[in-house]
Structure 1
Amino acid sequence: MEDLRLLIVDDVEDNRLVLNAICRKMEGFEIKEAVDGIDAIAVCEAWHPHIILMDVMMPNMDGFEASKVIKARFPETIIIVVTAVIDPQMEAHMAAIGVSAYLHKPINKELIRFKLQNFGAFLRSKDGIHTKLSAKEALNPFSSDVRHFKTIFDISDAEGMMDFGVWVLSRCEERKSRSSSKVDPMIELFYELMRQGTRNEEHVSIIIEESFEEIFMTMKLDKPIVLNPKMQELADDLQSHCIIRQNFACVRLNNGRDDLNPTPSVDVIEKAPSSKKEELEKKLPEVVEPTAVVLPLSEIVADKEVRTIDQNEQGMLRQSFIDKTSAVDYVQEIGGDVLDEIRDLESLDEEWIEKIHALEEEPNIENIRSFADGVLGVYVRAINNLFEFTALAYALSSLGTFMKEHADAIINDPKKLKMLVMLTEHLGSDLTSWREHIFSLQDAADIHYLDSSFFSSCMQIEQIVGNKEIETDEDNDMEFF
C-alpha cells in the first residue's frame, strides 16, 4: 500500500497548522486540508482519503453532517473527531453514523500519533500487508503471527500498545463486533494505563479471553491503579463494559447487542429493589477490594474562579485544562532546541518593559507596532512550537492584533493608555513566572497553572480599550483554574 491519505478538517487555520505539524512527522502519510464540511466532502470526492481528522463546530456545514455524507458515500473511510466539546449525546450520534474515534482538545500529540498509526496499521493489514509491527520476536520458532484462545500481550512501550490496538481492531472486524462505540475508549483507556505503568517501570500485561459471543480484555499492573480525570472519564464512557479494581482493568466487547446481559454497575445494584440486589450482585466478578484510587479533584487542580466568556474564548480555554502535567515531565518530553528557544525569551523581559514604557511616554502607532510585533510576536513564534500552549499563543497573537487595530483609541485616551500599560506589565510578569517555574526551576505541579491569568489580562485589555462588556450567561460559565 502507498502512503495513507490523511485529511485534516478544521475551520481554524492555527488548529490545522498544529495538527499538520504533528502528523507530518509520521512516515507513511500524505496530508491534505479542508476548511469546513463542504470542502471536506469535495476533497473526499476527488482524493478518497483513508483517514479524516474532523472538527465538529464549523461554518457552512459542521463535522456531524459532513461525516454522515462521507460515511454514506465512502463507508471504509475512518473518521476521527477532534473537538474541544465534551458531549456524550453528540458522541453517541457520531458513533451511530460510523465515526471510529474521538480526540478531545487539548491535543495530546502522542495519543493522536498512536491512534493514527494504529488505524494505519489496521488498514494495511486489511490490504494484505501483515508485516510485523514491532521489533519483538515471537517466542515460538514456527510463526510470528500466533493466535491462541487466550492471547497475552506484554507491554513495555507505545509500540507494544500499538500492536495490541491493531489486534483489537482486526479482531473486532473479523467477528463483526457491535460494540464498536466501546472499542476506541477501551483502547485509549488501556493506553493511558500503559503510560502510567511504564512510567513507573511496572510490568504491564494484557490477557485476552474469548467466548463465542464476547471478547474480554484484562490489563494487569504491578501496583494499584491511580485514576486521573481522563481515565475516569473513559471508564465512565464504557459504563458496565468496564471494571477497575486494585491493579487490573477489564473491558468486555459483545458480538451481539451491547445490552446483552451486561455486567451491572455498582450504581445499578444500589438503585435496584432489595429483592433484586442479591441476584445482580452474583453477576459481579469476584475481585479484591479496594477499588482503584481516584484522585480527588482538589488534588488535581488549584482553586477556581468563575468568569463567563464568549464561545470562541471558551473553545480556546477548553483546550488547556483537561490533563494535569508537571513541569518536570513536560520538559523531559520536549526537544532541546524548543527548550532553548523558550529560555531565550528571557532577553525579552527588559525589552517588554522598555517598549511598553516608551508607548506610555510617546503614544503613537509606531510604538504600538514595535511592542505588538517586536515583543508579542516573538513570544507567539516561540510558543507556537509548543503544541500544549496553542491557546496561549492565540491569546498573545490576538492581543497584538487588537492593539494595532485599536491604536487610535489607545493613543487618544490617557486613561485607556494607563490601564493598558498596567495590564501588559502584569501580563509580562506572569509570562516571566511561567517561563521560570516550568522551563528553568521546573517546580510547577501543573504546566497550565497560569493560563487563567493570561486570558484574564488579555480580555480585560479588550474590554477596557475596546469599550466592550463580556456578556454574562449563567448557564454557560467557564471555570478558570
Structure 2
Amino acid sequence: MYKVLIVDDNDNNRLTLNLLLEEVEDIEVYEAEDGQLAVEMCVKNHFDLIFMDIMMPNMDGFEATKFIKQVNKKSMIIALSALDDDASKHKMLSLGAEDYLTKPLNSEHFLQRIRQYLRIIELRNQKIHKYPQALNPFNAHVYHRTMTFRVDDESALAEFWDYWLNSEKNIINLSDCVRLIYGFGLWLLKHEYECSLVVEENEEKLYMMLVHVKPLGSNIIKNILLKHFANAKYILSNDMLTFQLDKEVKRDNGVVEVSDEAKKILSKTHDNVLSAVDYINNTAISFISKIDGLEMINDETDKAILVFEKEPTKRNLAVIYENFQEYADILEELMDFEHLGFAVQTLIDFLGTLTEEQFDPEKSKRLAAMLLNLLHDLASWRENVFITQVARDIHYLDSSLLSSCIQIEAIFEEKSLSLDHDDDIEFF
C-alpha cells in the first residue's frame, strides 16, 4: 500500500485529486492544507508520492519541497500549478520535485503518469550490475568514469530515473531528458528489445546515451524530440541517441552561474522573443555579406532540384546537398540558429548516404518537391530576418524547417513504428 499526500490550500483542488485517485489501486490518500502542515506530516510519516501546490499560505510549495527532501529524499514530489511557468518549473525541479504538472489536469494523462510513478517507486530499491562503455560522440574530453545501465527489465529504468531525479544534480533540462529516455526505453522493453543507457561527463557537460534505438525508427525519435524537447542538443547516429546537457556551475557563495553557451540556448524560448531588427543590430556586419551570397546559392539549388527531378542520379543529388552546405556552414556560425544548422547538416549527411537504387520515380518526385519547399522556406527565412527584417521573432520558421528536414528523411526510411502510433512512447 502506497501513501499519497495531497498538499493544496484549495478544498476543490484536493477534492478533484481525490476523485481522480479513486481510479488507482493500493494507495492511501492523506491531505495537507499548506506547506507547513505537509512538512510536519512528513517528519512523522513517510509518503511515497506527494502532490505539491506551489502558491499556499504559511509555507509555499518551494519551501515545503526543500524541507521534505531533506527529511526523506525517497518521497516523489509532483508539483502542481495553474501557471505553465518555466521559471517556477525549473525552481521546483531543482529543489527535488520530479515532475511539474499544470492545471487543469487531463484525467487520462494524469492517471497514466501516476501509475508509472507508482511502478517506479515499486522498482527503485532493486539493483543491477553496471557495465561501463565509452560512447559519447560529442566530446572525447570527459572524465574517466562512465555509468552504464543495462536495461533488460523495468527495474533498470527505475534505477536510472531514481538516480538522476531523486537528488539535486544541477543539470539543465535533466528532467525532460530523463523522462523521454525512460519513455523510449520502456517502449523497447515492451516490444522485447534490450538497450543500454550510458552516461559520461566533464566539468561543464553531461552526455546521456541510449544504445540500440534502431527498432524505434529515427523518424519517430526526431518527431517526439521536436514536440517535447525542441531545444535538445542531440546526435542520432546508427543505433544510438546521445544527448548533451549543460551543467550549472555554482560559485562559492551558492549563486548559480550558467555558462555563456547555456545562456544562449536557454534564451530561445517563446517568452523571450527576439525581433529581426534587434537581432541584426547585434549581429556582426561580416555575417550580412555571407547571407547576401545565399541568394545566388538559392537560385542554383532551385535549378539543381529541377534537374534531379528529371534525372534522379547520385551526381545530380550531390549538387543539391553541396549547395545546402552553404546554408549549414553559415547557420553553424550563427549561435542563435545552431539547432536549425544541425538539422540542415543532418539532412545533408543523410542525402549523402542515398544510392541510385533508392531513386524510384515516386520517391524521387517526392524528394524533389520537399527539397523545393525546404529551399523556399530557407529563402523566406533569409528575406524576412536579414533583408526586410520584418520578422517579429527570428525563430518563427524553426519548427517548420526542422519538421521538413525530418519528413524528407522519412521518404526513404523503413519505419518499425508508425507516426500515427507513437502514443506508446509519449506516456509522460
Q: Normalization by structure 2: what TM-score?
A: 0.46
Q: Normalization by structure 1: what TM-score?
A: 0.42
Rg bigger for which structure? 1
